[in-house]
Amino acid sequence: MPAIPSATVSRLVTYLRILARLAEAEVTHTSSGALAKEANVSAFQVRKDLTLFGSFGKRGTGYEVTTLLATLRGILGLSRPWRVAIVGMGRLGQAIADYPNFDQYDFKLKAFFDTDRRKVGTVISGIEVEHPDELPRVVVQREIDIGFITVPQHAAQLAADTLVSAGVRGILNFAPTVISVPQEVHLEPVDFLAGLKRLAFYIQKP
Ligand code: NAD
């Protein structure tokens, strides 16, 4: 597969979301124009993105929704299950654990960790909270691929280091701090407050 720029990956994720909704509504075909409109990009951009992986559209009928959906799932690595651990079972960790839609794309929550002894041993959404001392063993035994970091800012780097040394290859970091990981590990920051700050900048009165 060609190296895909991260902006393209973000657009593919958007197309996937649109296609999943169309499939749910039992729409059988769509066009680059319709996808472009919903994704807020040009039809040329949609065609360019999709031809990177082969030509899927037919002149006249456009794209077959289920075929394109399956192809995008494959390209994005979403046609296999991914096993997830959450480190930090406070307000955010617990809210994520309660979120019902992970299964839609085969993201399976498999382990929860927290240093708070009052939380260790409790069960959240059917999974027992364990102490991070157990993390190296649990990651190997439950074949965890992805770690969510939902610890306070000061503990985020340590949480990342522990996940990486245990063999986790992807990290979604919700703590508002820059953490470093080795090149072979992929890190996605989710900075809700940075989004709010950008919003304040754009809507402030001149
Ligand atoms: P919280 O204080 O409710 O929970 C943090 C949890 O992490 C606690 O249970 C604590 O015991 C645990 N913890 C601390 N150090 C740990 C370690 N080394 N290993 C494992 N567990 C550890 O905090 P929160 O509100 O859930 O926020 C968590 C993180 O997410 C913070 O960095 C916060 O800035 C960020 N965040 C929170 C929200 C939100 O809406 N709550 C939104 C965006 C970002």
* Residue 206 pLDDT: 72
* Residue 16 pLDDT: 95
Query: Residues 4-57: pLDDT tens digits?
Result: 888 999 999 999 999 999 999 999 999 999 999 999 999 999 999 998 877 666
Q: How far is residue 47 CA from its own chain's centroid?
A: 24
The CA-based angle 144-181-104, given to 5 degrees, is 40
pLDDT band for position 100 (50/70/90)?
confident
Look up the pTM and report it.
Answer: 0.88
pLDDT, mean of residues 132-151: 98
154 CA from centroid of ligand 1 (Å): 10
Cβ atoms of 165 and 180 closer than 8 Å = no
**By alpha-carbon position, which residue is closest to atom 2 of ligand 1?**
90
* Residue 1 pLDDT: 61
Beta bridge partners of 30: 63
- Which H helix or E strand runs over 64? strand 63-64
For a ligand 1 pocket test, name from 99, 114, 133 the mutation site with the most ligand atoms within 8 angstroms of its C-beta.
Answer: 114
